[in-house]
Chain A
Amino acid sequence: MIRFLALIFALIALPVTASAAPVRIGVVIDKATGCDQSLAKTLGGEAFAKHLQKRLNRPIILCGFANRAAAMQALAAGEIELSPSDQASYLPVRDKVRSILAARSTKGAGRVLALALVTKASSRTAPKLLIGAKPIFVASGEIAHDAPLAGLRAAGTDPSKLGREIFAGGLDQAARDLRSGKGDVLILDAGRYQRLCRSDKPNEQPCADLKEIWRGRPAVSQALAVRRDMPSDLRYQLISIYIAMHLEAPEAFVFATKATPAVAAFDPTEAEALVEIR
């Protein structure tokens, strides 16, 4: 009887790591291996698995898939908890999964928030109505032009169907070009929008005669995805661990970004960050 009780207590005293369900992480490799305890070692991902295991206090198992589509199908079926994804592999299972993290490149500013403004009288009240519209940009470059245009594309505007681009050369001139009808839509990043439309005087609204028809960030081409029904605790823990991985576990970060060159860090994403035409 004493041995029986000792067994019961020993079972209860087992560490959480041993009793908690593992977190199964999909990786794309040459061939499908399924979930395999030894895969982390085989792939050189021991530091990665160890870091996540320590932080989550749960076993980490890597699961090999031949491509992202197979990994995302497994994620949707509840066979893994975290999967690499891209736009093609995401769309077929988007009702069951969501994007949570994406790599930010060392080059460029990242997913710049941008806006599109038209005059109050304009009939172009949505991104899809911008076909043929002459866009005004304050300047060229990634933040003033490329990123806002990429964001607009994710919102349903085909940039090739816009009219001739106007580069105003300055913020005030860009606003004048819109108001005068030289262009139809002012497309600008959030920093410039704030400088243009946020007055330093009480009750003054410099953009009261303008209408915002879109605000958003560019879509991502690749992301890490989870099931939509993943408990929020685990989702936030994963986000926290990944966004700081470059600082807290550089070796793990190298493994996590092996397939993507020049990654500065991971950033959280919107659930539908992979989707263009949101």
Chain B
Amino acid sequence: MFGRVRSVAAAFAALISLGIAGCDRVSSRSANADDWRADIKQVRMGVTGGEDGSVVLGTFKQYQVLLESVTGLPTELYRATDYNGIIQAMASGQVDVGQLGASAYASLDSQVGPKAAPILINRSNDGATGYYSGILVRADSPYRKIADLKGKTIGYVDFNSTSGYLYPRWKLRDQGIDPDKFFSKSAISGGHTQGVLALANRQFDAVAFVASGGTPETGFTSGAYHELARRGLIKIEDFRIIWTAGPIPNSPLTMRTDTPQPFQDIVRGALAAMPYDNPQAFADTGVNLGNTLVATDRSAYLEIIAIRNQEIAQRRADRSTGEKAK
């Protein structure tokens, strides 16, 4: 009898001490239960060249430091060589959070639906939340307008690039130009930086590129084209923008929604507070001065999702026509 009472008492004491230990752990970091930290163990952030490859490392280093600080968890950066790498990493759950271009998010959405969601988007100092796609030519070329490029070659960035592939092709079609027939040849350069360098090396007559930090009226101040010039690899005056389209919704920071809710909220809240809590660190991410991060959701990308579906349908139709012709 006494033995049974003793073992019950010991079990009770053990349970109580577990509870106390649990409370200590919680109160040391948070007023909330933080069991999710034990569940996820680390933060995994996906890194690609994005829409502006040259700033990507600085951007993600600052985010890595912040996320480690606010979650108390090691934060790993997973690098992908192209857009598809990060899309697949997020789709398979190997990455919790990543910055995707709008088109890349649309691709992810088609694969996992609501299991991933855009959470934050850059908002510029004047309140804009979009950027532009442009077509760039060499300044010493005779091309002054889009019609001049008929029968010429064009370089796209990546099939999953919004400004460097999806959006300009859609907009050209909207303007009555079928890009697959209008240009004599097109190819994928592999990145915004690579595209501009390929143009400089005369591998293309024109390239699609990202134009941000302004509008067609004010001129642009950021994007791979400007970053390359600042690094001394090209001269701005050696090129000319002959066509722009936009604004395109900015690249969203995207999260897996099957991660614990407190984790999602802490990550989103800390990132959104960064421009105010630590403006220097936020500036070091390479964003345009005065930018902030504001909440977004899938509805902001519905047009891009529709354009991507249309593009895929067009490619399938073209392939089918080509196969029949054989």
Taken together as a complex, chains A and B put the C-alpha atoms of A198 and B288 apart, in Å, by: 11
A192-206 interface code vs B (CB 8 A; 1 in, 0 out) = 011100111110000
Whether B272 is near chain A, meaning CB under 8 Å from some CB there, is yes
Q: Which of B245-263 contact A (CB under 8 A)?
A: 261-262
**Are the CB atoms of B30 and A233 closer together than 8 Å?**
yes
Task: Confirm or deny: B310 has a beta carbon within 8 angstroms of a beta carbon on chain A.
Answer: no
| A113 vs B119: C-alpha distance when bound (angstroms) | 23
A265 to B129, CA, bound (A): 14
A56 surroundings in chain B (CB, below 8 A): 32
A121 CB–B CB distance under 8 Å: no
Q: Most chain-B Cβ atoms within 10 A of its Cβ — which of A20, A55, A234?
A: A234
B295's nearest neighbour on chain A, judged by CB, is A244
When the two chains form their complex, are residues B4 and A1 in contact, meaning their CB atoms are under 8 A apart?
yes
Q: Which residue in chain B gives the minimum CB-CB distance to A9?
A: B15
**What bracket does the count of chain B residues touching chain A fall in?**
35 or more
Q: Does B236 contact A (CB under 8 A)?
A: yes
Among B11, B31, B290, the residue within 8 A (CB) of A234 is: B31
Question: By the criterion CB–CB under 8 Å, are B70 and A236 in contact?
Answer: yes
Q: What per-residue 1/0 map shows which CB atoms of A1-24 lie under 8 Å from chain B?
A: 100110010001000100011000
Tell whether, in the assembled complex, residue B276 and residue A16 are in contact, meaning their CB atoms are under 8 Å apart: no
Does A247 contact B297, Cβ atoms closer than 8 Å? yes
Of B5, B229, B272, B299, the most chain A CB neighbours within 10 A belong to B272
Kindly specify which of B95-103, B146-154, B212-220 makes contact with the partner chain: B212-220
Please give me the residue from chain A that is nearest to B218 by CB atom: A195
| Contact indicator A247/B299 (Cβ below 8 Å) | yes
Q: Is A236's CB under 8 angstroms from B232's CB?
A: no
Contact yes or no, A233 B295, CB < 8 A: no
Interface residues of A in 217-273 (CB under 8 A from B): 230-241, 243-244, 246-248, 265, 267-271, 273
Q: Is B34 among interface residues, defined by CB-CB distance under 8 A? A: yes
Closest B residue to A236 by beta carbon equals B269
Contacts of A113 in B (CB 8 A): 125, 289-290
Highest count of chain A CB atoms <10 Å: which of B277, B295, B299? B295
Determine whether B294 belongs to the interface, using a CB cutoff of 8 Å to chain A.
Answer: yes
Q: Is the CB–CB distance between A193 and B289 below 8 Å?
A: yes
Task: Let me know if A237 and B273 touch, CB within 8 A.
Answer: no
Complex Cα distance, B127 from A265, in Å, reads 12
Bound-complex Cα distance A201 to B289 (A): 18
Which residues of chain B from 1 to 35 have a CB within 8 Å of any chain A CB? 4-5, 8, 11-12, 15, 19, 29-34
Cβ B229 vs Cβ A201 within 8 A: yes
Name the A residues within 8 Å of B54 (CB-CB): none
A107, B84: Cα distance in complex, Å = 39
Partner of B236 from A200, A230, A240, A243 at Cβ < 8 Å: A200
Residue of A nearest to B298 (CB): A247
Q: Which of B94-141 contact A (CB under 8 A)?
A: 119, 124-127
Which of A191, A238, A270 meets B277, CB within 8 Å?
Answer: A270
Q: How far is B297's CA from A110's CA once the two chains are assembled, in angstroms?
A: 20
Instruction: Mark each residue of chain A from 97 to 137: 1 if its CB lies under 8 Å from any CB of chain B, else 0.
Output: 00010000000111011000000000000000000000000
Say yes or no: is A70 at the interface (Cβ < 8 Å to chain B). Answer: no
- In the complex, whether B326 has a CB less than 8 A from a CB of chain A is no
Closest chain A CB from B146 CB (angstroms): 24
A189 to B29, CA, bound (A): 39
Complex interface bits, B28-52 against A, C-beta within 8 A gives 1, otherwise 0: 0111111000000000000000000
Q: A5-B8, A233-B34, A236-B265 are contacts. A12–B19 as well, Cβ < 8 Å?
A: yes
A143: interface (CB < 8 Å): yes
Q: Which of A16, A233, A240 contacts B268 (CB 8 A)?
A: A240
B264 on the A face (CB < 8 A): yes
Asked whether A195 lies within 8 Å of B290 as measured between CB atoms, the reply is no
What are 25 inter-chain pairs, A to B, with CB distance below 8 A?
A5-B11, A16-B33, A20-B31, A55-B265, A58-B32, A109-B127, A110-B127, A112-B126, A112-B290, A113-B289, A143-B125, A190-B125, A194-B213, A201-B236, A233-B29, A233-B32, A233-B70, A236-B70, A236-B269, A240-B266, A243-B295, A265-B294, A265-B295, A268-B269, A271-B277
Q: A57-B261, A239-B270, A265-B295 are in contact. List 8 more A-B contacts (CB 8 A).
A: A5-B8, A16-B33, A57-B262, A191-B289, A194-B290, A195-B214, A244-B268, A270-B276
Nearest 4 A/B pairs, CB to CB: A236-B269, A190-B290, A113-B290, A240-B269
The residues of A with any CB-CB pair to B shorter than 8 Å are 1, 4-5, 8, 12, 16, 20-21, 55-58, 100, 108-110, 112-113, 143, 189-191, 193-195, 198-202, 230-241, 243-244, 246-248, 265, 267-271, 273
